[in-house]
Amino acid sequence: MKNTRVLFLTLNTFSLTGGIEKVCRCLAKVFSDLNETSDLTFKLLSFHDEKSDLDARYLRAENFKGFKSNAISFGISSLLMGIRSRQVILSHINLLLFARLIKFISPRTKIILFAHGIEIWRPLAHWKKRFIQQRVEIWAVSNYTASRLVELHQFDANNIKIVNNCLDPFFELPLNFEKSTALMERHNLTEDQPVLFTLSRLSSQETYKGYDRVLMAIPNLLKKFPTLHYILAGKADDAERERVKDLINQLNLKTHVTLAGFVKDEELTDYFCLGNIFIMASTMEGFGIVFIEAAACGAQVIGGNNDGSTDALLSGKLGTLVNPGNVTEIAMAIEKNLVSKRDPSAIQRLCIANFGYAQYVEQIKKLILC
């Protein structure tokens, strides 16, 4: 096996907690593990991270460098290391300029671009589109993202690899699926009370997550499930928080909805287990790591049927797919899942079998060490 020098360029890896950052951490761990078991050598350069942001569980300090948003220093280091690398992987399309410079000096260096979702569905500058078409291999996190790239940018489907996201190797898996007593007390819930749970950014700039349509579905559900409670968690900007609060008041749901705010990593598993159903009726999800995290905790999951959620939910095998714009269909799916309960252990096993870290390592290994 040839020595494979991999340079991984990211915007953020450890300093933010979004989906793209989760992908970066998992891939860093993969490269770190392959570094131990094969002759792969690699380096991760993070544009915005600082040295102190490093989480040593994912990779060693000698394989990481943060540049604290210093574009000149990051660019010079990326160029010098990139031209000596066999493969350069970009976590985000906003890093494409550095790859273009590397490829100009070192045409033999292979450029790989991760395509997550909305960041690459937008219109692209002509030079970006042309460079990707001619010089870049794409790793799309879902079949939906891949199809959008072909449709919007006329990228060659044969040059796109589908690399579904995986569960973080350090994600805490529950063993007994019991509801947390502490969380039930915090939110004034009872053991037998049906609970819906959504974890999402509440952003006035990203209104596609679908929690407003879940709210609109609840009034009719209360006729059959009068104690139904909806926990909507995640960071919220002021404008969106007020909009959601207004909607809750309009629907007379004040006693049935909790805006839980930011959820700490150490409480994530407990929140997933607290909800009988995890629901996110999104319309523009690139993949949706949160779906597989919920399923790994044994939760019954409901997601949209016309975006990357279909990959995360295995086309309906791992959860229920609905028309995310149809409030009636959302309500029917919630009712069905509350009445027909699935074995949480079976949900967890199916999730791990398809999105476990071990499978992800093998897929990346085949792609990178070929």
Measured from the Cβ of residue 70, the count of other Cβ atoms closer than 10 Å reads: 13
DSSP state of 260: E
Angle 203-260-276 (CA atoms, 0-180°, nearest 5)?
A: 105
Tally the C-alpha atoms within 13 A of residue 257's C-alpha that lie toward its C-beta.
25
Distance CA(67)–CA(50), nearest Å, equals: 6
Instruction: Please state, in angstroms and rounded to a whole number, the distance separating the CA atoms of residues 218 and 327.
Output: 9
What are all long-range contacts of 339-346, with beta carbons under 8 Å and residues at least 24 apart? 341/276, 341/300, 342/300, 344/177, 344/297, 344/298, 344/299, 345/177, 345/298
pLDDT at 44: 98
Burial of 6 (0-12, 13-18, 19+ CB in 10 A): buried
Is residue 278 within 8 A of residue 294, CB to CB? The reply is yes
The DSSP code for 281 is -
Domains and CATH numbers, the chain: 5-163 (3.40.50.2000), 181-354 (3.40.50.2000)
Q: What is the pLDDT of residue 2?
A: 53
Predicted local distance difference test score (pLDDT) of residue 1: 43
Question: 353: how many CB neighbours lie within 10 A of its CB?
Answer: 10
**pLDDT averaged over consecutive 10-residue blocks of the chain (370 residues)?**
82 94 98 90 97 97 97 98 97 98 97 96 96 98 97 96 98 94 96 96 87 97 98 95 97 97 94 97 95 98 97 98 97 97 96 98 91
